[in-house]
């Protein structure tokens, strides 16, 4: 056998990493639309319950380090994101970061809750109208975490759906209707569409035009925050959304 010589490529920018729920069908696709074309994104999956409950969300804590460790070894990631809004609220954002770092070499760690709080601070948003797909016990934990961060939930509505397989099938028109009706319930600075599995990207821009206020989603703020942490072209939320708009 001939031993072939080779030349090593030059170092390239550190990639982004993403821990996606086993049940999630939306997050990876949305990230491909939201991030710059030259951003390298590597993905791993974490076991998740098909039924969303506080207990099922909390159970992911014990699997998070192992899931993160399945990202390529020997690679320094500029940022790694944990792709679950309610899971981050249930487990705790500090614990999510610690468990993720235990499994992968990451300069920064984010999640949709951390990203939403950062986005609200950046945009001076103090009152949110919150739309959730999930049952009350799951949504209550998220609202409590946001309240402790100084973000008031002035209006809240939910589809009261516990099945992830059904959440991802909620029609965009239903999501847009929910955003408009919830925002109309009480004064708010922005609307937040919670859950990485909701198909939200195509409804954000028209809903913003209808309401005249920002509309944020779990996937939008997480992509924005990770890009910010990684220093990708000082990405703004509006440029993320422009990039994601269908041609």
Task: Decide the pairing of beta strands 127-132 and 190-193.
Answer: parallel
CA 58 to chain CA mean position, Å: 17
> With pLDDT > 70 as the criterion, what percentage of the chain qualifies?
94
Cα separation, 235 vs 224, whole angstroms: 7
Cα separation, 108 vs 226, whole angstroms: 8
User: Is 234 a residue whose pLDDT tops 70?
Assistant: no
Asked whether the beta carbons of 79 and 226 are under 8 A apart, the reply is yes
Query: 123-178 pLDDT, tens per residue?
Result: 999 999 999 999 888 999 999 999 999 999 999 999 999 898 899 999 999 999 99
Which residues does residue 130 pair with via DSSP β-bridges, in sequence order?
A: 156, 192
Which residues does residue 82 pair with via DSSP β-bridges, in sequence order?
A: 19
| 177: Cβ contacts below 8 Å, ≥ 6 apart | none
Per-residue tokens: 158: 């939910």
Asked whether the beta carbons of 68 and 32 are under 8 A apart, the reply is no
Query: 191-223 pLDDT, tens per residue?
Result: 999 999 999 999 999 999 999 999 999 999 999
Asked whether the beta carbons of 216 and 155 are under 8 A apart, the reply is no
Closest CA to 225 of 95, 82, 115, 105: 115
Cα separation, 101 vs 109, whole angstroms: 8
Predicted confidence at residue 197, as pLDDT, reads 96
Asked whether the beta carbons of 149 and 124 are under 8 A apart, the reply is no
By three-state DSSP, how is residue 114 classified? helix
By three-state DSSP, how is residue 91 classified? helix
């Amino acid at each position: 056998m001939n031993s072939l010589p080779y030349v090593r490529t030059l170092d390239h920018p550190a990639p982004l990493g993403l821990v996606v729920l086993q049940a999630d069908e939306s997050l990876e696709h949305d990230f491909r639309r939201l991030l710059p074309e030259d951003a390298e994104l590597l993905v791993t999956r974490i076991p998740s319950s098909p039924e969303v409950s506080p207990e099922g969300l909390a159970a992911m804590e014990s699997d998070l380090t192992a899931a993160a460790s399945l990202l390529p070894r020997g690679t320094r990631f500029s940022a790694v994101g944990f792709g679950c809004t309610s899971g981050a609220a249930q487990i705790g954002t500090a614990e999510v970061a610690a468990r993720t770092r235990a499994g992968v070499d990451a300069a920064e760690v984010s999640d949709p809750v951390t990203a939403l709080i950062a986005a609200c601070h950046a945009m001076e948003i103090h009152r949110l109208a919150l739309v959730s797909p999930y049952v009350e016990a799951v949504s209550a934990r998220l609202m409590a975490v946001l309240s402790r961060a100084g973000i008031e939930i002035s209006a809240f509505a939910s589809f009261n759906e516990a099945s992830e397989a059904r959440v991802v099938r909620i029609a965009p028109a239903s999501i847009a209707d929910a955003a408009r009706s919830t925002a109309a319930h009480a004064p708010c600075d922005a609307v937040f569409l919670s859950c990485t599995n909701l198909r939200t990207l195509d409804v954000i821009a028209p809903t913003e035009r209808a309401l005249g206020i920002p509309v944020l989603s779990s996937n939008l703020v997480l992509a924005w925050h990770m890009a910010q942490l990684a220093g990708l072209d000082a990405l703004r939320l509006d440029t993320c959304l422009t990039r994601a708009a269908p041609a």
